[in-house]
Chain A
């Protein structure tokens, strides 16, 4: 931090010498580098570091969107957040979504990548159809899926009824629609994991299978004892990235609840935070909630990296 503050005073002196001193010896210490780094660092400081500091400060105040004077209220927001049942409910729902969505997202990503790796002649078509949903805006995704989920004659319930799976319950849209959000999310974002696995598969040299081929191993044995162990690093990465992404769920949940799906409107944590801040105007309280989410995500990422990378050794 001290160097940050020192930098601007020293900067003017850097203006004359750089071209001469640094051009000859790129590694010699000078202030030139600072000019390269400064534009990004400035934007970073204003739109990331400062909001972080500000958020922490607000979490100790009763700051409100209505703009009335701010007063320091110590740990009151934090105490309230930890005792807030709705906040815990929404956190649990976020965790539940993560638990439901991570396994299919990881496993399907792997299975589809294994298929696409073998079926190389269809590679272009498979990459298009598995990954294309990932580049589509979330509102388009939810528009299409809400339309397909419609209870009376929507595409999915139509076929479920036709195959005798739906009957009058029309389960895919009723009661707890979390399953529908999970299915939509799997369709939308599986492609990213698919590509990570596919790229990893392509780095495996074919020679590693030669010994197994000579021994007459079948594809399942090769998959189990060669391919999967070689993919372990990728799997660690995919699981960690996936869980972090799932814990941040907001967009599709918000839009599907707004699209008439049977979802409790405050059911995921970011939405609860958003509502506290922008609907309830309680910026201070919402800031405390933000920090709880932030710490929660960091903890999970840290624990996972620890657990999973230990297994690797």
Chain B
């Protein structure tokens, strides 16, 4: 990236309402980093991917930011350092992003075989922004990788036409003074999934592949949407495998982030979502799958209304707007935010997010096979799910810190029971797998092989 001249004034931005929380609570155990990946139909060339990022980042201010600490608040300031180094994947998904390393960028790009991974610190943007960035990165990468291909002749090293780079704080823009002091989130205790954990730092990943049309039919047969169906299956699996059908004092609370952009006509690249909860409190001995689905459906339907989302937004932003709280020094605010956060972590059982259907523009679509989304763990939540669909396949990824996978097992079996074909993949490395997939030594050998190929190609030219 070009070094800026002496008169350069770095842009800056205050953190949006959701982002305020993340730098305060982020740690190596709870990184608040999510991953969105895409698999291409071809092997990734790391150098080309770096080149694509070098072209893209100067055009994408929302990602060209570093996190700085002020006296009263954190804030973002434009970063003029070189783009972060693209590396081959060498850590578990969503590992902590150290704000003083990685050239001070709050995201990282890695690759492995055919997969490109984008990991983003949640303060920077939500899944919508992350997905847009990854799509543009893929466009640039494929354009570079196929520069001799006639299909890419008209493609330029610019962002896609029509892409909105709006960075407004839509929370503040759409804030209306709450009518009552009634809390939008009631942080009542929920069922907390506990169990033996994997070794520190390890994250279990399990992808479930579903054909979208079959899943649609299954959801329709229960008269629910796909999202309600998947959340309902998840809640029912927790009910069967963790609660063993016993009535409990506390409900199962599955958090579902709702993208607010369509409700407020916003295109912001910054965070703009609200959390609603799929609540199910078992009060009798035996609930059927359809009963739970109906409860989850009603719970989500009642909360995902413009009025309720407005109440949630206004309640959340009202604290930030409080004139008495704003001038409190950041180190005191941090203590207060941390203690409030720790007070409410027992209010959520799990999270299930849906990024939606990804469509790429032509001529890129045929070079991309799948998209994946993954959430890292939070305190009190050792199991999370993230959904994304592309090319007629919906992929739900469970991430967990727990050794036990009985909830996931029940979840997939429920869906198979509804006549959906399911394929499962994990991040466990199978010892018998082909040697090229294994170990650092093999990876280095692959790198050497690639370099050799390149050298030969150059010689031939």
Judge: A and B partners, yes or no: no
Question: Residues on B close to A: CB < 8 A?
Answer: none
Question: Residues on A close to B: CB < 8 A?
Answer: none
